Structure 1
Amino acid sequence: MNTVPATASVVIVGAGPAGMTAGIALADAGVDVVLLDKLAEGANASRAVVVHARTLEVLESLGVTEQLHEHGLVVPKFVMYDGDRALARVSFAGLPTKYPYTVMIGQESTEAILLARLEKAGAQVYRHTEVTAVTQDADGVTVEYTDADGTPNSVRAQWVIGADGMHSKVREAARIGFTGATYPESFVLADVRMNWPDARDEVSLHLSPEGVTVVAPLPDPRPDRYRIVATVADAPEHQDLAYVQALVDARRPGAHARVEEIVWSSRFRVHHRVADRYRAGRILLAGDAAHVHSPAGGQGMNTGIQDAALLGRLLATVVDGAPADILDEYETTRRPVALGVVKFTDRVTRMATLRPRPARLVRNLLIGTATRVPAVRRKLAYQLSELANR
């Protein structure tokens, strides 16, 4: 195991997609950057699987979008169902971008691509390093950590980026509030092999009294791999084949889909929270350390990557001698985006999980009527693609 340097210009805590994106932007600018992560390896499951148009644009500047295409599946359509009835069909075609679609790709593949690019830029992820304390003063920040053997050590930096997730120790050390709440439902994620009636060029959102369900195709040599995301009252610790089959049968009763295999599954609670500020002195936040929300629309990882690309670029100029108040642009630009994403995904989640039949009938009528208007469909596609974040 390589030894963490004693000093660095920037230390990034967390080597997920947001942390590595910031690291690439900094390393490309010649900044001495160190990434610390407590995990032994990167994501080995699909987790976040949607890469939207705006993120493809941002990652093009880092030279990885072509690889995402090579390993991913292009999906240009989004369909909303209630039972067997399609309420709305939205196409990303015609959006003002080189990438009028989403790319479906497992997070493990996205992280592998970003890691290779990070190392090509000359930076490195130091794993088995769990941060225990972050202390800043007028001249810099001390990051204390333990290595794989539990040995305590520290690294001194000019700046620290906390990209260490919802339970961020960096955010806590900076005493930055994380305002929001927790949804009462559980979420189930399952990557499965199943026969599915819809074309593999569309993601479907299914509304039902039991909860909201998303079904998305995943890249695979065999055309039967899909991601299922579903809200449930209380998810079991382990989701077996019968449980996932019952979910599919209840949420899309006419699909006659048969789940053949569970490749990977998980459960989690979802919060909707945004950090009260994105900077405290020499400490900055990005990704899930700055915002978490419902997975509706697949906005989370995308928003974090976009955060990190801007932050890395701005921080590189500051390290190079520009005034530190340039960093104010980061919060004023990206925090409103996070607030908007939380509002949008919260609205979608609550709309999708309506239970009273009269309310569902009104919802369906409004959705069906509104999305017959081309301008409404374009607006929804524009919002989902995050192109408004330019």
Structure 2
Amino acid sequence: MDRPVLIAGAGPVGLTMAMALKRQGVALRIIDKAAARSDKSKALVLWPRTLEMLDIQGCVQPFIETGMKATGVRILDRHHTLVHVRLDAARSRFPYALMLPQSDTERLLEEQLALLGVHVERHVELVSFTDNKDIATAALRHADGSEENTDYSYLAACDGAHSTIRHGLAVQFDGDTLPSDWLLADVELDGDLPNDELTICWTPDGVLALIPIRGARFRVIADLGHASAQNASAPTLVEVQSLLDERGPTRLSAHDPVWTSRFRINERKVNDYRHGRIFLCGDAAHIHSPAGGQGMNTGMQDVINLAWKLAMVWHGRASSELLESYSPERSAIGEQVLRNAGTMTKVAIVRNPILQEIRNLAVGALGRISALRQILVDQLTEVDLHYHHSPLTRMLPSASPKPAPGERAPDLPVNHTDSGATRLHEVLADGKFALLSVSAPTIKLPDALKAIATTTGTVATDDYRAGYIYLIRPDAYVAMSTKTENRDLLLAELQAMVGTA
């Protein structure tokens, strides 16, 4: 296939998509109607699962060097700690929340793209498009008013919550707008407040979240009760200080605001992420409460999921049927994120005093149970995301229960690799499946599978059991596993999974 992929939208989602495709040799264009990259902090955190995805892309280090590591989350009732979880309990090579303003995330992704020879075409707007079954055609308008009509192999809608492409498809964006106003302020804070932890205060008057950005700079988020008449004016520093005095854990003083805003929470999602040659990604497909800070991360993981499949199909190494798995896999994840974020928000903004007391007692008691704290850490850090019910997940005879088919494949040292890779993530960087033999001889691949898979080996660990072969997807999820003596069955299932181009 020689026609490029068109990516509409150069936020974190579109930039990640472009980077992942280009690393696999896919021709592409990435456009954005804005004349310049956003200078707003917006999304603030990269969670461990997203950092693992960037590690597979070979570019995680610049993000780590630029961001700040937060290693804890605490929920307070006035001045008492209800629950305190340590993010360094995350079962990942990146056991922390990496605090990084979205403007920096976009800058770093754009720099990675530039190293690959790709540059964002700015001030270029997608005006209309058509899906002609064999190609997708897009009409683009440039800064000087001129227009072009060009054919593409596929179109990726990474153009945000007000997606032109989603509107053009006339796709329902089902959900609700929550009936409450919220305040956001990025300010400098003086006072006794840890800058390596996220602090959430539950008070009778509402919730206050204090999210570290860098040094003494924090994001302050607070609910303001029921929605009032739309107030377009930005919050004042006096209003921010008043909320800190009323709800904050200690005497805090706010100054030097960088960005203040009011907002309302939308919880919406499309049913289908794929429409022929057009794919909806990130906020174009789902938007939800900022609780948990997983919106941007979910969008970036959407396109990592899509990119390896699209690359295989674009190069003619797999049947286009492989792309059918994108929507069911990511739609299920979107529903999970919506549900979790919505629940966290509703629990935090309870107004009934009796329900507040019950909530605080329950959370305080449950927070003392280590197993439940680990569940919360796994959910926040996104290492619990899975594809158990994916069409690409196969349950073979004698499948390993750990990690089970559909679950995340933890990184670990490997050996017997032709490329010289020393870790699983390095093996997956080539965009192929990895056949991982654990404490067993590596298997020999038939020639027909060498374009889509590679073999490697490792020794048994707490995560991987001896005597098994694991088929690891390019996005580091287990597709299937079985005992080594069943390797021919596994190879046959892999061939059936990708089909023939």
What's the TM-score once normalised by structure 1's chain length?
0.94
Kept in 2, the 8 Å contact 1:188–1:267? The answer is yes
Any idea what SS the aligned residue of 1:387 has?
A: coil
1:334 to 320, 330, 335: 330
Aligned residue in 1 for 2:19: 24
1:350 and 2:346 are equivalent in the alignment: yes
Give me the whole-angstrom Cα distance separating, in 2, the residues matched to 1:174 and 1:320. Answer: 27
Kept in 2, the 8 Å contact 1:176–1:280? The answer is no
Output aligned runs, 1:1-390, within 5 Å: 8-219=3-214, 223-233=215-225, 234=228, 237-252=233-248, 254-321=249-316, 322-389=318-385, 390=408
Q: Deviations over 1:221-256 (max 9, x none)?
A: xx311111222245652122101111212222x511
Kept in 2, the 8 Å contact 1:64–1:113? The answer is no
Kept in 2, the 8 Å contact 1:95–1:382? The answer is yes
Deviation at 1:23, TM superposition (A): 0.6
Any idea what SS the aligned residue of 1:314 has?
A: helix
- Give the letter for the 1:330 counterpart: Y
Structure 2: tracts of 5 or more residues without a match: 386-407, 409-501
Give me the whole-angstrom Cα distance separating, in 2, the residues matched to 1:102 and 1:386. Answer: 11
Any idea what SS the aligned residue of 1:359 has?
A: helix
Q: Deviations over 1:309-358 (max 9, x none)?
A: 11111111111112111012212221111100100010010110000100
Deviation at 1:168, TM superposition (A): 0.8
Deviation at 1:188, TM superposition (A): 2.2
RMSD over aligned Cα atoms: 1.5
Kept in 1, the 8 Å contact 2:289–2:341? The answer is yes
- Give the letter for the 2:53 counterpart: V
Larger RCO, structure (CA 8 Å, separation 6 or more): 1
Structure number with greater Rg is 2
Identify the range of structure 1 (357-366 vs 76-85) with the bigger mean alpha-carbon deviation.
76-85
Aligned residue in 1 for 2:443: none
Any idea what SS the aligned residue of 2:264 has?
A: strand
Give me the whole-angstrom Cα distance separating, in 2, the residues matched to 1:196 and 1:177. Answer: 47
- Give the letter for the 1:282 counterpart: R
Any idea what SS the aligned residue of 2:242 has?
A: helix
Structure 1: tracts of 5 or more residues without a match: 1-6
- Give the letter for the 1:342 counterpart: L
How many residues of Structure 1 are paired with residues of Structure 2 in the alignment? 380
Kept in 1, the 8 Å contact 2:89–2:377? The answer is no
Give me the whole-angstrom Cα distance separating, in 2, the residues matched to 1:132 and 1:154. Answer: 10
Deviation at 1:8, TM superposition (A): 4.4
Deviation at 1:54, TM superposition (A): 0.4
Give me the whole-angstrom Cα distance separating, in 2, the residues matched to 1:57 and 1:73. Answer: 16
Give me the whole-angstrom Cα distance separating, in 1, the residues matched to 2:61 and 2:41. Answer: 19
Any idea what SS the aligned residue of 2:88 has?
A: coil
Identify the range of structure 1 (133-142 vs 144-153) with the bigger mean alpha-carbon deviation.
144-153
Deviation at 1:140, TM superposition (A): 1.0
Give me the whole-angstrom Cα distance separating, in 1, the residues matched to 2:303 and 2:384. Answer: 17
